């Protein structure tokens, strides 16, 4: 079917073109939605892991402070024993 200008079925070609654009937009929106979900999930996993590291760091800091107190106590005892003997370390 020709309309005399050498164009066959221009209404159909224009509709197919718009349908292609619409399908591309829908696919792109779907892909972006899926990607957003993947990124959000990864960020949540990262946040959970960071919270675990923070908890471990607090625990280690508490252990370190307890160890420092013990060492200070022992240094005080050694220092006191040396002073009572009249000598210095």
Q: What is the pTM of this model?
A: 0.52
Is the model more confident about 78 or about 47? 47
How many Cα atoms are found within 13 Å in the side-chain-facing hemisphere of 71?
A: 6
pLDDT score for 30: 96
Question: Mean of the pLDDT values across residues 41-62?
Answer: 96
56 vs 15: CA distance, rounded Å: 61
89 vs 81: CA distance, rounded Å: 10
What does each C-alpha distance from 67 to 10, 20, 76 come to in angstroms?
85, 70, 14
Is the model more confident about 3 or about 25? 25
């Amino acid at each position: 079917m020709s309309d005399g200008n050498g164009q066959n079925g221009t209404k159909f070609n224009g509709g197919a073109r718009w349908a292609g654009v619409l399908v591309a937009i829908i696919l792109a929106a779907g892909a972006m939605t899926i990607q957003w979900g993947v990124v959000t999930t990864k960020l949540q996993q990262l946040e959970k892991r960071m919270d675990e590291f923070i908890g471990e760091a607090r625990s280690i800091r508490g252990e370190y402070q307890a160890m420092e107190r013990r060492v200070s106590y022992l240094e005080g005892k050694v220092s006191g024993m040396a002073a009572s003997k009249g000598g210095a370390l």
